Amino acid sequence: MGDNSVNLASLIGSRICHDLISPIGAISNGLELLDLTGGVEGPEMELISDSVGNAGARIQFFRIAYGAVGPQMMGHTEVSGLLNDLNQGGRILVQWTPREAQSRAEVRLAFLALQCLETAMPYGGVIEICSSGGHWSATGTADKLNVDEKLWKMAGGVEITPSLVQFALLPVAAADLGRKVTMDHDTGTITLRF
């Protein structure tokens, strides 16, 4: 990224995610071994297993959204599988429609847009992410939306908290690819284009 402070933040994000994925993987492997030996069964084991799976998916998601971007390509199966794991049992269903492999930089923009949309959909809904001819859209559909206009326009006077950092990073990451993020919404949908 062009901005040194943003680049440094991306490297820190990559490092944290890299360091956390190993112990999460080890816990997951340990749970599989326990399951194979029949040592522990019951709802407690299922809760631990689900939590470890969710933590692993979140770390992988954050590594792409907030980590350093390289030249890697990501296939449809990889991205949609990660999104399914991330949102399993959640209030939001994510539909990843690009069938061809996408650059990690493009997937990063889509993941940041996804997180922005989630903030407007506190009661759940469906998010569809599409790509055509180098143009992307991420559309959230819900019965009830909560859209803070100042936040979405990145207007002055809006405090960016850790839970809203995606709103600060998305326009910067888009600008690095020569793009601008636009938003429009109506009663039941909100769309980000980049």
pLDDT digits (tens, 9 = 90+) for 112-142: 999 999 999 999 999 999 999 889 999 999 9
Domains of the chain by residue range: 1-68, 72-194
pLDDT at 25: 78
Q: Provide the 3-class DSSP secondary structure of residue 194.
A: coil
pLDDT in tens, 32-72: 777 778 767 778 778 888 888 888 899 999 999 999 888 89
Cross-strand bridge partners of residue 127: 94, 140
Question: How far is residue 193's CA from residue 170's CA, in Å, rounded to a whole number?
Answer: 11
The two structure tokens encoding residue 82: 């990660």
Tell me which fold the domain 72-194 belongs to: Heat Shock Protein 90 (3.30.565)
N- to C-terminal Cα distance for the chain?
17
